[in-house]
Amino acid sequence: MTSAPPKAGRTASPVAAPYAVPRVAPQRRWRPALVWLAVALVAAGGLIAVAVLRKVGTTAEYLAVGATVEVGSIIERSDLRTVRITVDPALKPVEASAADQVVGKFAAVALVPGTLLTRAQLTDRAVPGEGQQLVGLSLPPERWPAGRVRPGAAVLLVVTADSGPAPSQQPSTTAPISINATVVDVRAGAKEGTTLLNVAVAERDGPLVASRAAAGRIVVALTTGN
């Protein structure tokens, strides 16, 4: 008896793998106006940066005070120093090239070392002028209009009554003495809380003002127009 031939095994048909379909990104529309706007903004930023660098980086030589110069003193070359700095446009310091024009002038105000020199601090006339005397007044806040008096201001120096015991109880009917003066310089006084006013007065009034100032009997009054 013959046996039947073995059955051939089934061959599994291959299963196709999933096929990834490539995605195509949508193309954006090119807008020339936006491109030119970006280019313009970059160019403007570059120009602004260059302008700022030029302004900040530009330096020049100016005159500075190298030694203390009192009011009315003649300015000498040894009183000046040359500095190279960038100056704010609001300031008007004297350029170093004008040093020869400065030497020989008079200090209109006290010059402090380490400060820039301006033409407002200079004068062609001696201080005090002819027929005048320069007197310093050390004043507490209650004896002058603090913050209102500037160099060049015209003021009245009022001589107050003696603070000593009065000879009688009757009030004085005599008008106080007032003397015309011009403020030359204003600075901090030697004593804390005081201010030093250098004033120019007529030569005949100089001794009286000096003696009354030493006794603390001067009050400064600001005149009209200052």
pTM: 0.57
* Chunked mean pLDDT (size 10), the chain, 226 residues: 52 56 59 74 77 66 93 92 86 92 91 92 86 92 88 91 54 77 89 92 95 94 76
> Do 118 and 138 fall into the same domain?
no
Cα–Cα dist 218/136, whole Å: 11
pLDDT digits (tens, 9 = 90+) for 144-193: 998 888 888 899 999 988 654 444 455 556 778 899 999 988 888 888 89
Domain with residue 115: its CATH number is 3.90.1210.10
Q: What is the mean pLDDT of the chain?
A: 81
Report pLDDT for 10. 52
Report pLDDT for 181. 94
**Six token digits for residue 92:** 């008007």
- CA-to-CA separations, 170 to 24, 109, 164, 173, 223, in angstroms, rounded: 112, 44, 15, 9, 30
**β-pair partners for 60:** 85
Report pLDDT for 5. 55
In our burial notation (b when 16+ CB lie closer than 10 A, e otherwise), range 32-43 reads eeeeeeeeeeee
C-beta neighbour count of 31 within 10 angstroms: 9
Q: Is residue 55 part of a domain?
A: no
Q: Is residue 22 part of a domain?
A: no
Domain count of the fold of the chain: 2
Cα–Cα dist 71/127, whole Å: 7
> Do 138 and 115 fall into the same domain?
no
Report pLDDT for 75. 95
Q: What dihedral do alpha carbons 204, 207, 211, 217 form, nearest 10°?
A: 20
